[in-house]
Structure 1
Amino acid sequence: MAHRLKHALLTFAAVVFLIEAWLWDKMILLGRWAARHIPWREFKDTVARLIERLPPYGALLLFLIPIAVIEPLKIVAVDQIAHGRLLRGALAFIVLKFVGLGLIAFIFDLTREKLLTIGWFARFYAFVIYWRDKAHDFVAPYKAAVIARLSALRRSIDAAAGKGGLMGMLARLRARVRKAQN
């Protein structure tokens, strides 16, 4: 029984870690997209020059600023939940999670080269990447099984729905309803 619990917890932790890693990658892309669409060329150039001039520990400080600001606000959001303001607290926590992850990922993308010149940071980064790859390997068989089941389910729905698959069946159903209303 203890082995099953341990396996279930490891699976859950791996999935959460992979979701965070996936969100991290998406937030970097979103940050790059936003930076391309900021209309102030001078502002972007100034920010890029300032980051280029930063020493590695200055880049680390810049990287840690969103964490220092957002993490205490997450505690406030959890406090809201604890005091019965579930919707407000949960919404605040989710927004802070996305904004924080987005800012941190974007700043990391801008400062990566400088941050990786710091020995302990480079080792920590390698450690995180190692565990991300391990999580991918751990979850891969489950992911393949879910994809196979979803494909089989889709094939069975399409077969039961007849011509045009599920969307065709929904279109025929909608046409029947409209015909019955007239």
Structure 2
Amino acid sequence: MRDRDEIEALLARAAIADRAAFDDLYSRTSAKLFGVVLRVLNDRASSEDVLQEVYVRIWRNAGRYNANGLNPMTWLITVARNAAIDRLRRQKTQPTGDVDVDDVALADPAPTPEAEMLRGAERAQIVACFDELEAQRAEAVRRAYLEGETYADLSARFDVPVNTMRTWLRRSLLKLKECLSR
């Protein structure tokens, strides 16, 4: 049995509240989903919290997964990514509260000159790779992965079907990955 089929079977069993299947699903997928959440949030503690929320969502909604030929990992990754984006949006809208001067570190938060030089070189490489993409596709990638827009938002903005937007993003990310590895 292929890994994909096994994950689909575990989701089906989790949908009927099979805890052993859910434990197995967690052990097979948690590292990948944690990586997805961590890339969005860039904070380990928040990512661990969100990962817990993700698996609560999966437990509650496993019955909604429909084995329609799509990879079940795609569904799981979408749940994780959306939960991480939701957390980002909540963080942006929450007030920061009063800060006591004694609680603030006095270290200079500015990057060192060496770090700034490396960041500049990486930025230049990323900009060059984005320039290799078609303008609309580059804009869609920026809006999806830097600003957290959903597939539905992007498909409406660019007046294309949602599945076309998914294809744009997937192919664009593959091109970026190839470019950055040169």
Calculate the TM-score normalised by the size of structure 1: 0.27
Larger fraction in helix? 1
Max Rg structure: 1
Higher RCO (C-alpha under 8 Å, 6+ residues apart)? 1
Calculate the TM-score normalised by the size of structure 2: 0.27
